Chains A and B, each alone.
Chain A
């Protein structure tokens, strides 16, 4: 039943993204709160439901957004996959892993978006996308990465309390 905490957290994250974060521009880029939230959640060792969180968040964002649901779905699944690999094998420094995943995740979601839009007949100039959307988005995501990581770490400790050592 503790997995039901995903419902209010994901709903609140997507509502905040649509109502607040999508209105705060740096050039033409915006922060991607659901992606950063999922990265932070997947980096917590005790969490075992990050894949389901990613799928649910991707489908909900796909429902709200005008872009194909495949983009956030695959994008967020990829972010969780990266977070799992980084958390288990590469680094023990969680903040360094968080920044790396935030950077790579933003790039991956952008690539998926460009590919999806090109399939639907919208050709985007790569230089504009890189300079005006993706890199400003990376910077904004980096700015919110630390506070989001702290919140998700506390949430993980609350949802998955560690057994007391006698």
Chain B
């Protein structure tokens, strides 16, 4: 018993010291050493993420059957070591296509300044819908900045460290986005869910909402810039005894295959919390 206590105490002290050093480093107190350490961790996670995405793309990317057969016939003559090169090249082509689309998107909207970032991880908890990107405060990323792809709105920055940031997706159950319906000229609130589905709420009963209506950010509340595309209405639920209608929305962004995103770095979110009356 005498030996057990000092050993447990010694182990606890070792963990506390190591944990304290890591916490100070991640908090930016050892600026140069911290950058090297966090940079190494981010690089390691980027390496794992890139390998996994490459293999996942190779195994699951949808392809035309005819082109697949043709491609398969071509590959039959190649030796095993060339397959690794094929995977790498496919990954590079995919990234180039994504980047080209993002550049086009940026050209169409010159009023915004963007910072491209690669998605290197997801939230460890299945209850939340967050992703981690490889850009942080060293790249000018700040909490609250909106995140988009060439297709539409992804979410906003929730937390930042020196070389990485966490994005809250619009599919997260705690996410709420003020939106407007383009055709119906009405506004509502888009909320996420634990399953990743998004639904439109607070639509007045008298408004005529139809499947196919385009959902855009309204800019109300100052959390997001206006007119970012979110998705389309899939179906509407309207009951006489409800105060508001509800609608299911199909997002234009495929959140399961997010690889590269754009952070709008010149948008400053407005904190309206002091203006909200408290009971």
A137 to chain B, nearest CB (A): 6
Contact B15 A55, beta carbon cutoff 8 Å:
yes
- Chain A 28-59: CB-based contact to B (< 8 A → 1; otherwise 0): 11101010000000000000110010011001
Q: Is the CB of B125 within 8 A of A65?
A: yes
Instruction: Count A-B pairs with CB separation below 8 Å.
Output: 118
The tally of residues in A whose CB lies under 8 Å from a CB in B reads: 48
Chain A: minimal CB distance from B36 (Å): 15
* From B12, B121, B196, residue with most partner A Cβ within 10 Å: B121
B208 on the interface (CB 8 Å rule)?
no
CB of A15 within 8 A of CB of B124, answer no
Q: How far is the CA of A25 from the CA of B123 in the complex (A)?
A: 13
A-B contact pairs, 20 of them (CB 8 A): A3-B11, A6-B15, A15-B45, A18-B45, A18-B132, A19-B45, A28-B126, A28-B194, A30-B126, A63-B26, A64-B121, A65-B124, A65-B125, A66-B159, A67-B125, A117-B127, A117-B174, A120-B174, A128-B193, A137-B126
Interfacial chain B residues near A117, Cβ < 8 Å: 127, 173-174
Stretch of B48-56, B82-90, B102-110, B140-148 with 4 or more beta carbons under 8 angstroms from chain A: B48-56
- Indicate the member of A28, A71, A129, A137 with the most B CB atoms within 10 Å: A28
* A19 vs B45: C-alpha distance when bound (angstroms): 7
For A7, give the chain B residue with the smallest CB separation. Answer: B18
Size bracket of the B interface: 35 or more
The complex places the Cα of A36 from the Cα of B128 at a distance, in Å, of 20
**In contact, A124 and B19 (Cβ under 8 angstroms):** no
Tell whether A61 pairs with B124 under 8 Å between CB atoms, given A19-B48, A48-B11. yes
- Interface residues of chain B: helix, strand, loop or mixed (majority): mixed
Decide if A90 is an interface residue (CB 8 Å cutoff): no
Instruction: Verify if A93 is at the interface (C-beta below 8 Å from B).
Output: no
Given contacts A18-B122, A22-B124, A64-B124, contact A4 B173 (CB under 8 A): no
Closest 6 CB pairs of A and B: A18-B121, A22-B122, A19-B48, A52-B15, A19-B49, A66-B130
- In whole angstroms, how far apart are the Cα atoms of A95 and B14 in the complex? 31
User: Is A15 a contact of B126 with CB atoms below 8 Å?
Assistant: no
Cα-based distance from A132 to B196 in the complex (angstroms): 11
Q: How far is the CA of A128 from the CA of B139 in the complex (A)?
A: 39
Q: Taking chain A's interface residues, is the majority helix, strand, or loop, or is none over half, making it mixed?
A: helix
- Report chain A residues within 8 Å CB of B123: 18, 22, 64-67
* A133 located at the interface, meaning its Cβ lies under 8 Å from any Cβ of chain B in the complex: yes
Q: Which residue of A lies closest to B12 (CB)?
A: A52
Query: When chains A and B are docked, how far (Å) is the Cα of A49 from the Cα of B11?
Result: 7
How many angstroms from the CA of A18 to the CA of B42 in the assembled complex?
12
Residue from the list A11, A22, A56 in contact with B41, Cβ < 8 A: A11
Residue of A nearest to B130 (CB): A66
Q: Is the CB of A66 within 8 A of B166?
A: yes
Residue of A nearest to B18 (CB): A7
- Residues on the A chain within 8 Å of B122, using CB: 18, 22-23
B195 within 8 A of A: yes
Which residues of chain B are near A113, meaning CB under 8 Å?
Answer: 125, 127
Contact between chains at A19 and B52 (CB < 8 Å): yes
In the complex with contacts A4-B14, A6-B15, A28-B196, A19-B121 CB distance below 8 A? yes
Write the A119-145 contact mask toward B (1 if CB under 8 angstroms, else 0).
Answer: 011101100110011000100000000
